[in-house]
Amino acid sequence: MTKAFYLTTPIYYVNAKPHVGHAYTNVLCDTIARYHRMLGEPVCFLTGTDEHGTKVEKAAVAAGKTPQAYVDELVPHFEELWNALGITRDFFIRTTDDRHKKYVQGVLADLEAKGEIYKAGYKGWYCTPCESFWTELQLKEGKCPDCSRGVDRLEEENYFFKLAHHQAWLTDYIETHEDFIRPAHRRNEVLGFLKHETLEDLCITRPKARLRWGIEYPNSPDHVVYVWFDALLNYVSAPQFAIPGKKEADFWPADVQLLGKDIVRQHAIYWPIMLHAMGLAMPKMLLVHGWWKIGEAKMSKSLGNAVDPTALAGKYGVDALRYFLLKEVTVGMDGTFSEDLLAERYNSDLANDLGNLWHRVASMIEKYFEGKIPKGSADALRPPLALSTLKLWDEVHSLMLGFDMRESLAKMWAVIAAANQFVEEKKPWALAKDTAKRQELADTLYVLAECLAHLGVLLQVFMPDTAKKILERLKVQTYQNIRTAQDYTKPLLAAGTAIEKGDPLFPRFEEKVP
């Protein structure tokens, strides 16, 4: 059986509703998943929610609810957002699922039996927002080195996982596997840390006297499992119970694990050491993206500057939001969110460029050829516009394998700009006045229609609703079977086919109903 292309998002903490940062991660992952499905590959795309830990318990108490009731109310907001944004996940994991709990407890029991886990006393500092322990030396000005918030002094007995024992192995693994952590500057950061710092063993439980909301440790009814140890295991537990008959070998190792830069330590240090101790293979790649910022600050629920993606999708349209998130920032870099910039991109790139191209071409086919695809001559697909259009498959393929969605869209928009320029150069309205140039008019509109059809094929990955409109209005029958460059470079349209002009793809924003 062919192994599925398996990709994951981090699972999201449910102490508040999702914001644009969450939407960005899942749109990125969805775009990768759609691309590999378009290539004809079996795909498993996992996302979900992380529902245990101190932050959830505190938020539930503040709301006057039990933790379970609290997470049960918030989880639907995530699923509804993914539905609204067209996120084609194959499964959705909740860490409160009893099957996940059983898997976590089984792993812990096995690791303890192997001598990878031990019980000991702990004295040190604890950051509740990050759910992390820190030594005195790790604190920055007496505060958490990750979030710069206050920490609490703790003294308690817990279970510890032997991180330090595997430090040399992990350092060697990352050095010898260049693509394990991307982009390269994140890999270099992790290596720098491993080479200059000594890992502390990881405290993987919390006493029930301090925290009750978590998976019970298998050998101690007085402890619950540290939320990060619990959460990371979802990547292996979820597919086994989400897809009947699936085993680890059917999907593991993951091909791409997408995550934000604020959780690199957990994924690039804790997670590979956990897998190594369990005897499982490493994920092929940890792909780290940046933050969306408001001004100079990270977009964050705790900072109160989160932007609601559901409202944005309702105001501008799902595909406009997807386009903005993918086009505005290179994967791995930070982006600054601005609704004014989103509106500007909508009007310039989507309404003026793509939307206008569709309207002009469809209107002229309707006016000059009774709404039917004209018959092109043998030389119709020889202009530079046609050649640029047919080159897009190879160009986008290379970029998508490198996870460069921004440049992929830039390549497509260069062709859209060329197509609009082609209209201005050929002036179909002038050709239509000269009966001797009837074939030149037909060739002009035919090559423009083919250009739109081929763009529609590739846009399925990025802007699925818009792509579907273009392809169905042009009556492209075979677009779901295009898997290779050879498929893509064939003509997609049949002469004489009646097209549908339809409503504007992207009405200018000021014309949209509030």
Give per-residue pLDDT as tens, 47-65. Answer: 999 999 988 999 899 999 9
The residue among 121, 112, 53, 31 whose CA lies nearest residue 323 is 31
C-alpha angle with apex 116: 112 to 117, nearest 5 degrees?
55
For 20, the token pair is 């644009």
Q: Give the whole-number percent of the chain exceeding pLDDT 70.
A: 96
Torsion of CA 407, 413, 415, 420, to 10 degrees: -160
Q: What is the per-residue pLDDT across 355-392, written as a single tens digit (0 to 9) for each?
A: 999 999 999 999 999 999 999 998 888 899 999 999 99
Mean pLDDT over each residue of the chain, to the nearest integer: 92
Q: What is the per-residue pLDDT across 230-282, written as a single tens digit (0 to 9) for each?
A: 999 999 999 887 667 767 778 899 999 999 999 999 999 999 999 999 999 99
Residue 512 has pLDDT above 50, yes or no: no
Residue 350 has pLDDT above 60, yes or no: yes
Structural contact between residues 237 and 93, judged by C-beta atoms closer than 8 angstroms: yes
Residue 219 has pLDDT above 60, yes or no: yes
What average pLDDT does range 457-464 have in this prediction? 98
What's the CA gap between 370 and 368, in Å, rounded?
6
Q: Where are the domains of the chain?
A: 5-289, 339-511
What average pLDDT does range 109-126 have in this prediction? 92
Structural contact between residues 127 and 149, judged by C-beta atoms closer than 8 angstroms: yes
Question: Is the CATH number of domain 5-289 3.30.1390.20?
Answer: no
Buried b (16+ CB within 10 A) or exposed e, 470-485: bbebbbbeebeebeee
What average pLDDT does range 292-301 have in this prediction? 68
Buried b (16+ CB within 10 A) or exposed e, 64-84: eeebeebbeebbebbbebbee
Cβ atoms within 10 Å, residue 394: 12
Torsion of CA 18, 23, 29, 35, to 10 degrees: 140
Give alpha helix (H) positions in 335-427: 339-345, 356-368, 384-401, 405-426
pLDDT at residue number 57: 92
pLDDT at residue number 492: 96
The residue among 268, 266, 262, 312 whose CA lies nearest residue 23 is 312
pLDDT at residue number 296: 63
Which SS3 state, helix, strand or coil, does residue 509 take? helix
Fill in the DSSP letter of residue 372: B
pLDDT band at 514 (very low <50, low <70, confident <90, very high): very low
Q: What residues contact 354, with CB distance under 8 A and at least 6 apart? A: 413, 416, 455, 466, 505, 506
The residue among 205, 211, 173, 203 whose CA lies nearest residue 191 is 173
Which SS3 state, helix, strand or coil, does residue 53 take? coil
Hunting for tokens 């900072």 — which residue is that? Answer: 303
Which CATH superfamily includes the segment(s) 339-511? Isoleucyl-tRNA Synthetase; Domain 1 (1.10.730.10)
